Structure 1
């Protein structure tokens, strides 16, 4: 049996701001940007991983969700409590400088971790934590 990751989801409160960050700052390509059932279906991905996409979705994409549930999800997103993603990079320090110079909120400057990576962390425009790691050579 061969199982591979196809899509993962990141909650965003503004698709246009999210696209500006994921496309223009991180360099991901836009795969889809279409209307779907009164919502917007937006996917991005790395040009080097054509079979993996990140879906940028509203905090609660369920059309049957109550107003209270939508509000609760929006509040969790604003606190950065919903989802996080870890990206792999071949140069953590250069990636950090590029993202910081674009104005992203820094959560952690590059540092060596005891589990074998050098990593840094930011918040995206919606508040999600994004980590960028580089395997350390021994």
Structure 2
């Protein structure tokens, strides 16, 4: 029986930039930032395992993955293109006060595609991470 989600993959265009975005702008905490495994795509080293979590939910881990991780070169390029143009909706992040969180994140440089607005399910704002992934920031009713 499946009991819970522990990890989810977010494909990013640049892991250093993504780490800075998720930590400095969103306030996430780094779990792991290590190189492991066999040589990765001719880099001379293994792949970088970079994971972060919201501070209030450390058991949910976001893998900030290089688009090449686990993919053939042609597939990796297709994923990169989709991420960069914002074609991938990465998920929904919860906020106790969407308007306040929107203001705080905007001050930190997060780019919002939609300001907080009333929806049937609550208040929602939409933003992109520095790679192009789209997130809904939602305050539930």
TM-score, reference length from structure 2: 0.86
Q: Superposed, which structure 2 residues align to 1:1-138 within 5 Å?
A: 1=1, 3-37=3-37, 38-62=46-70, 65=72, 67-114=73-120, 116-136=121-141
1:41-80, CA deviations, whole angstroms, 9 ceiling, x for partnerless residues? Answer: 11111222121111100124115x1x32222121111111
Deviates more, 1:98-107 or 1:50-59: 98-107
- Measure the CA separation in 1 of the matches of 2:137 and 2:88: 18
1:14-50: per-residue Cα shift (whole Å, max 9, x none)?
1111111111111111011101232211111122212
Q: Which runs of 5+ in 1 are unaligned?
A: none
Instruction: Say if 1:5 and 1:121 are closer, same or farther in 2 by CA, change over 3 A.
Output: same
Q: Does the aligned pair in 2 maintain the 1:96–1:109 contact within 8 Å? A: yes
Shift of 1:82: 2.9
CA RMSD, 1 decimal:
1.5
Q: Which moved more, 1:77-86 or 1:28-37?
A: 77-86
Structure 2: stretches of 5+ with no match in the other structure: 38-45
Q: Residues 59, 2 of structure 1: CA spacing in aligned structure 2 closer, same or farther, 3 A cutoff?
A: closer
- The number of aligned residues is 133
* 4+ aligned runs moved over 3 Å, structure 1: none
Contact 2:67 2:77 in 1 (8 A): no
Name the TM-score, length of structure 1 as normaliser. Answer: 0.88
Question: Are the equivalent residues in 1 in contact too, given 2:28–2:54 (CA < 8 A)?
Answer: yes
- CA shift, 1:2, in A, is 5.5
